[in-house]
Structure 1
Amino acid sequence: MTKPTLLILAAGIGSRYGGNKQIDGFGPKGETIIEYSIFDAIRAGFGKVIFIVRQEILELVKEIFLPKLEGKIEVDFVVQSLDSMVPEEYRHPERKKPYGTGHAVLCAKDAIKEPFAVINADDFYGKEAFQELGNFLIEDVKSDLHCMVGYALKNVLSEHGTVSRGVCETNENFQLIGMTERTSIAREGEKIFSRGEEEPLEIAPDTPVSMNCWGFHPSFFEEAERIWNAFLPEHKDNIKSEFYIPSIANTLIEEHKANIVILEGGKTWFGVTYPEDKPIVVKALQKLHDNGDYPENLWE
């Protein structure tokens, strides 16, 4: 039985947080959020973890995580740079940032040959999410069948500012039929609005959204690279263009190349967007330790 791999997107800059939230300490003993994801992945049957990082934090990430994970799970690192997988003719001298989550995943295509999950470094997804992912990637995944863990919109907002979320449309089989990136989402009284559009858009609280918690067959890389190669010439002059995982997912669905099942593992989520979110996350993690969801020391 092939054990799945966990791919962690840890190359983000965290401009709204004001620092490298990927390596900031939140747990009772200074644990990063990433460590909880890895701990949950190990007990869900994952056999390898790969960090996608920027070159400037590569050595620091190795220094933090390698000693903790030695002997517990195989570990690898992949660098996402501005020019990764970008041919010379499409490189723009004024571009400052890489192309986003879809680009980050593609950077790992030579390091992964087995089914794999993709998560953000700064989101806590909960043990149920990894159990569902592990079961799917071991038993159900196919070259044309991938998955995403869905979370109810009402449970993934910040009390300290607006957020962007991939809002999902589903069919009667709870498969994804389309996803729209909505921006400037916030709770207003008893309702939730997205104000990133021309007109305010009210969104139902229980609407499933993507928190970038995906499960893929390795065939995903071939399809994503095909879509990427079409994306580059079309956006070569747009220095702020982004190549997101939901864009790849939407294309695969529209082209009838794959189905994406929305799993029901999205029970618990919290994340860090703003500095004010940190004490909330610290308190939530302490409560999980107190309740016995995690041992006093994750790695002893």
Structure 2
Amino acid sequence: MQNKPTLLVLAAGMGSRYGGNKQVDGFGPHGETILEYSIYDAIRAGFGKVVFIVRQEILELAKEKFLPKIEGKIEVDFVLQSITSHVPEEFQNPDRAKPYGTAHAVLCAKDAVKKPFAVINADDFYGKEAFEVIGKFLTNGVQPNLHAMVGYAIQNVLSDNGTVSRGVCEMNASNQLIGMVERTSIAKEGGKIIAKGDGEEIVIPEGTPVSMNFWGFHPAVFTDIEQMWNEFLPANKENIKSEFFIPLVANDLIESGKAAVEVLEGGKTWFGVTYTEDKPVVIESLKKLHELGEYPENLWT
């Protein structure tokens, strides 16, 4: 099918809080990574290509881990993200320790993505329903000025083992994103969901949709991202911790009127590994899904 969308996987993250390369860690009954479930779900939702965005240090490891399982089942490509990717020499800072974040990673994949595409984290389990709704949108609904995001209810995407960062969404009556605020320290306390930061505490109501970084874009977005990136670099040259996030891009598109972002209802099941202590929960959750028949005993045989 000519219009099969592409899956763009953000796998260059450091995994600092987790303490290792969780992108290639095994969680399934046969040592499957979380990402393998996303690729499996994407294939059955009609995706035709997967592009991995990785660091040079884990490129060979990623190829060894994934190619033997998925080659021949979906088209595969690998793209590198580094501190100097798409950064002209005059804006490079030798003190910078890591790349510029998720929108920078998407920009790195510009030459590898020619069709409508979804963006996911490598270390989050999103559920088959999420891939079904985003796959349908990317095949039938996406336009150069209409993108999408899968929304998840805040109470379903917390960790019992510490705070998490989430993009808290505000929507209009048409289920389109008005804006998103990145809350970097959210946890459940005393039966309430509380976001802390800058000396304030905000209670977030249950049911509030948040972004788990599952986006759907028309390739026209690359032009917009590149334009924003060219403004971001000179403004942040001296800030070695500055990051160029997808929510920044989404907010800019909405505020400027260049594009709308539809919030899709498909986020039924999510789990992930922010902390090492999350691993047993993820292993048990995947085991249950296999037992329920959501996935075959072995994904690839």
Could you state the TM-score of these two structures normalised by the residue count of structure 1? 0.99
**Map of 1:122 onto structure 2:** 123
Would you say how many aligned residue pairs link Structure 1 and Structure 2?
300
Instruction: Measure, in 2, the Cα distance between the counterparts of 1:41 and 1:189.
Output: 38
Letter in 2 for 1:236: K
Q: How does 1:156-235 map to 2 (within 5 A)?
A: 156-235=157-236
Which stretches of structure 1, 4 residues or more, deviate above 2 A after TM superposition? none
Instruction: Measure, in 1, the Cα distance between the counterparts of 2:204 and 2:184.
Output: 12
**Map of 2:77 onto structure 1:** 76
The alpha-carbon deviation at position 168 of structure 1 amounts to 0.3
Instruction: Measure, in 2, the Cα distance between the counterparts of 1:86 and 1:157.
Output: 35
Aligned-residue identity in percent? 70
**Map of 1:12 onto structure 2:** 13
The alpha-carbon deviation at position 198 of structure 1 amounts to 2.1
The alpha-carbon deviation at position 184 of structure 1 amounts to 1.1
Q: How does 1:285-296 map to 2 (within 5 A)?
A: 285-296=286-297
Could you state the TM-score of these two structures normalised by the residue count of structure 2? 0.99
Letter in 2 for 1:125: Y
**Map of 1:90 onto structure 2:** 91
**Are the equivalent residues in 2 in contact too, given 1:167–1:208 (CA < 8 A)?**
yes
**Map of 2:107 onto structure 1:** 106
Instruction: Measure, in 1, the Cα distance between the counterparts of 2:234 and 2:191.
Output: 44
DSSP-derived class of the 1:72 partner: coil
- Which of 259-268 and 182-191 deviates more? 182-191
DSSP-derived class of the 1:296 partner: coil
**Map of 1:60 onto structure 2:** 61
Instruction: Measure, in 2, the Cα distance between the counterparts of 1:158 and 1:189.
Output: 15
**Are the equivalent residues in 2 in contact too, given 1:153–1:205 (CA < 8 A)?**
yes
- Which of 120-129 and 63-72 deviates more? 63-72
DSSP-derived class of the 1:192 partner: strand
The alpha-carbon deviation at position 197 of structure 1 amounts to 3.1
**Map of 2:275 onto structure 1:** 274
Q: Which runs of 5+ in 1 are unaligned?
A: none
**Map of 2:133 onto structure 1:** 132
Q: Which runs of 5+ in 2 are unaligned?
A: none
Instruction: Measure, in 2, the Cα distance between the counterparts of 1:189 and 1:71.
Output: 50
Letter in 2 for 1:218: P
Letter in 1 for 2:90: E
DSSP-derived class of the 2:112 partner: coil
